[in-house]
């Protein structure tokens, strides 16, 4: 099978994926700042790295996926000035800043879980790692890549430039950065050089989220938490660092610089924090950027309920997931009601196909092989893998699934006639097709999702059924006991008798 190829933003080219310590893979993706509900852009990033996580796991890598929670009160303009985002929201909602962070974190998880986004292996919070952040800032100071100014600590870009290159990831040069920072002159007075960025900020009297540090009371800069938490849980150098393209500069550029400045004892070849830097592209609305200030940032909750002036209807979480997977993660994706409605229809057809797969019994009739259909199904696994191995091209995987749909539909409609493909081909195809649908792409049909939400009810019902069967067996009423087992099997539920009792599972 082909090897997995990933597009590395650091080298700006596609590279063969070779983990540093196989079969282990360490992956870090920047998580949300929890001061508002997640919108479509958050969904795209979460689904992109959820898909990477799922696919690497399907390839039998042991993945440790870390996604942080930014709950420190970072500043509104994402720079080094302005109000704290979380504190501003706290004042608005008359809540404690930590209440705001907890509430929007809970909402984030709920909204993403509905899209079948798996929880990462570790979800570290910035506020839980203040000590480590202070230590890292001190280390950068000790190594000579930072300076103290008025109770704040700034990264010294010019000192860093003597040994490393600030701009390596984004391809920007210092002149571009200077031009940009000249447009935003606020708070530049404390800095020695306009491109320098805050590692630690002195807290103004009204700032609520503040901690003691060797430099006075304050709070960490925006970028340092990711450098610190990724190295704490994945090591100084790990395999994949992910995020949205909007984070590439300054956030990821600063992460790399801090990591190099902190761990500059490592040989130069081992720098840059992660081996592969992956970035998903943005979602636009009818060709325009989406954003709070533009009035077109639609939260996932609004999509699910349909309650937003730009939405014609409600869209289910799975339709949104499917819509996102229909594009390659590095392409821009334009959202409109028309596009989402097209995805909704396509997803319905796909689900119909998945359901029909189970209704086809490959052994009922003698075979009359149709060579074209036989090839379509037998080539599916290799072609879907090739697409996924080509930098996680889910768009091509989905298209290949649609190529197989007419064959599934034909086999279903003609299920009384001789089977048009070899039974072994069909069985192998069915297994892989479902694996691609469920495991690689993380899709679920509406019925499965419903059932997922009612897992507890099903559990308690199954307990009753298993008890009844146990009683029937005690009474030597084999007819009833067998009837229960057989009827469950019809409903794709299998029973397994063990020394500790009877277990049940879905056999799909």
Q: How far is the CB of 27 from Zn ion (least distance, A)?
A: 13
Q: Which is nearer to Zn ion, 247 or 333 (CB)?
A: 247
For the CB of residue 249, give the shortest distance to Zn ion in the complex, in Å: 12
CA distances from 430 to 357, 365, 377, 380, 508 (A): 7, 18, 9, 10, 10
**Residues in touch with Zn ion (CB under 5 A):** 30, 226
User: Measured from the CB of residue 166, what is the shortest distance to Zn ion in angstroms?
Assistant: 17
Please spell the DSSP secondary structure of 436-473, one letter per residue: IIIIIS----HHHHHHHHTHHHHHHHHHHHHHHHHHHH
The answer for residues whose C-beta is within 8 angstroms of residue 485's C-beta and 6 or more apart is 469, 495
Please answer whether residues 23 and 115 qualify as being in contact, where contact means their C-beta atoms are separated by less than 8 angstroms.
no
CB of 30 to Zn ion, least distance (A): 3
Instruction: Give the nearest distance from C-beta 222 to Zn ion in angstroms.
Output: 8
Is residue 97 within 8 Å of 87, Cβ to Cβ?
yes
Report the residue number, 126 or 354, with the smaller CB distance to Zn ion: 126
Residue closer to Zn ion, measured from CB, 220 or 362: 220
Least separation in angstroms between CB 31 and Zn ion = 8
Residue 359 C-beta: closest distance to Zn ion, Å: 47
Instruction: Please say which residue, 29 or 436, places its beta carbon nearer to Zn ion.
Output: 29
In three state form, how does the secondary structure of 103-119 look? HHHHHHHHHHHCCCCCC
In the complex, least distance from residue 395 CB atom to Zn ion, rounded to whole angstroms: 26
Nearer to Zn ion, 226 or 407 (CB): 226
CB atoms within 10 A of CB 47: 25
User: CA–CA separation, 406 vs 314, rounded Å?
Assistant: 29
HSE at residue 95, side-chain half, CA atoms within 13 A, is 16
- Distance from C-alpha of 246 to C-alpha of 244, rounded to nearest angstrom: 5
**CB 469, min distance to Zn ion, A:** 53
Closest CA to 44 of 284, 238, 275, 274: 284
Angle between helices 423-435 and 371-378 (to 10 degrees): 40
Which helix (DSSP H) or strand (DSSP E) does residue 147 occupy? strand 146-149
Determine the Cα–Cα distance for residues 484 and 478; give it in Å rounded to an integer.
10
Kindly tell me which of 20 and 248 has the beta carbon lying closer to Zn ion.
248
3-state secondary structure 71-88: CCCCECCCCCCCCEHHHH
Cβ at position 124, least distance to Zn ion in Å: 11
Closer CB to Zn ion, 25 or 226, in the complex: 226
Complex with Zn ion: residue 32 or 362, whichever CB lies closer = 32
**What is the rounded CA–CA span in Å between residue 141 and residue 148?**
8
Degrees to nearest 5, angle at CA 301 with 297 and 306: 85
Please say which residue, 226 or 398, places its beta carbon nearer to Zn ion: 226
Q: Which is nearer to Zn ion, 209 or 226 (CB)?
A: 226
């Amino acid at each position: 099978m082909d090897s997995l190829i990933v597009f590395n933003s650091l080298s700006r080219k596609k590279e063969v994926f070779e983990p540093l310590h196989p079969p282990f893979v360490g992956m870090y993706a920047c998580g949300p700042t929890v001061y508002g509900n997640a919108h479509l852009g958050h969904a795209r990033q979460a689904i992109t790295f959820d898909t990477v996580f799922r696919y690497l796991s399907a390839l039998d890598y042991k993945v440790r996926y870390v996604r942080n929670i930014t709950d420190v009160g970072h500043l509104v303009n994402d720079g080094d000035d302005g109000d704290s985002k979380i504190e501003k929201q706290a004042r608005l909602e008359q809540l404690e800043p930590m209440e705001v962070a907890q509430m929007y974190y809970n909402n984030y998880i709920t909204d993403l879980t509905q899209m079948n986004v798996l929880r990462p292996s570790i979800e570290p919070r910035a506020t839980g790692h203040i000590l480590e952040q202070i230590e890292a800032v001190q280390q950068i100071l000790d190594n000579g890549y930072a300076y103290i100014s008025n109770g704040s600590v700034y990264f010294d870009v010019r000192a860093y430039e003597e040994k490393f290159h600030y701009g390596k990831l984004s391809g920007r040069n210092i002149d571009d950065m200077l031009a940009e920072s000249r447009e935003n002159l606020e708070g530049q007075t404390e800095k020695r050089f306009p491109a320098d960025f805050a590692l630690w900020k002195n807290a103004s009297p009204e700032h609520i989220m503040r901690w003691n540090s060797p430099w006075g009371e304050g709070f960490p800069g925006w970028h340092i938490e990711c450098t610190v938490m990724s190295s704490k849980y994945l090591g100084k150098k790990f395999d994949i660092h992910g995020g949205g393209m909007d984070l590439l500069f300054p956030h990821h550029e600063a992460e790399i610089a801090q990591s190099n400045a902190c761990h500059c004892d490592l040989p130069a070849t081992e720098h840059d924090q992660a081996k592969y830097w992956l970035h998903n592209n943005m979602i636009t609305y009818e060709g325009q950027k989406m954003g709070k200030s533009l009035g077109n940032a639609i939260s996932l909750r609004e999509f699910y309920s349909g309650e937003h002036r730009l939405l014609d209807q409600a869209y289910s979480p799975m339709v949104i997931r499917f819509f996102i997977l229909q594009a390659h993660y590095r392409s821009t994706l334009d959202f409109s009601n028309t596009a989402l409605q097209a995805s909704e229809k396509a997803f319905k057809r796909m689900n119909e196909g998945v359901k029909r797969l189970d209704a086809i019994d490959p052994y009922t009739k003698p075979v009359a092989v149709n060579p074209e259909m036989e090839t379509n199904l037998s080539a599916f696994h290799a072609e879907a893998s090739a697409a996924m191995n080509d930098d996680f091209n889910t768009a091509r995987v989905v298209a290949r699934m649609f190529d197989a749909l007419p064959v599934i539909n034909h086999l279903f409609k003609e299920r009384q006639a001789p089977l048009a493909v070899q039974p072994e081909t069909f069985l192998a195809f069915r297994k892989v097709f479902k694996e691609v649908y469920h495991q690689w792409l993380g899709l679920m049909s509406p019925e499965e999702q419903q059932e997922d939400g009612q897992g507890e009810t099903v559990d308690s019902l199954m307990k009753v059924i298993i008890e009844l069967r146990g009683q029937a067996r005690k009474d030597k009423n084999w007819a009833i006991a067998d009837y229960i087992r057989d009827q469950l099997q019809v409903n794709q539920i299998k029973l397994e008798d063990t020394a500790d009792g009877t277990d049940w599972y879905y056999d799909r």
